[in-house]
Amino acid sequence: MSTRTYNKDMGYSFKEFFRPLPLAFESSAYDVNGRTIHFDAGEGKTINITLGVETVRQIALMAIPLLPVTLELIGYSDDEANVFMATFDRAYHRGGG
């Protein structure tokens, strides 16, 4: 069983991260345990998301939350992982160009 790991620094606070989460999974059937989110996609596929400690990125007078996020996709093929990551990125995309 293969594991694919993705690390991201996301411009979300810990609390904000959970708002678009159902869109990323196209479901709300996930478990949250502290800083870890677990999703059983069936057929031997699992996704674990670990949220790091939130910090702040200071750009001039702007303060932007910064949340380290690690995603582990277990049992996913390359194509399946790419599809999930595209869905995840779309769910967490903020407005703009």
User: What CATH number corresponds to the domain at position 85?
Assistant: 3.30.1370
Q: CA 93, CA 12: separation in Å to the nearest integer?
A: 11
* Mean pLDDT, rounded, of the chain: 92
Domain count, the chain: 1
Evaluate if residue 96 carries a pLDDT over 70: no
**Assigned domain for 29 exists:** yes
Asked, for residue 37, whether it belongs to a domain, the answer is yes
* 27: phi then psi, degrees, rounded to nearest 5: -170, 160
Neighbours of 37 (CB within 10 A): 21
89 strand-pairing partners: none
Q: Which pLDDT score, from 0 to 100, does residue 86 have? A: 96
> Does 50 map to a domain?
yes
Read off the pTM: 0.90
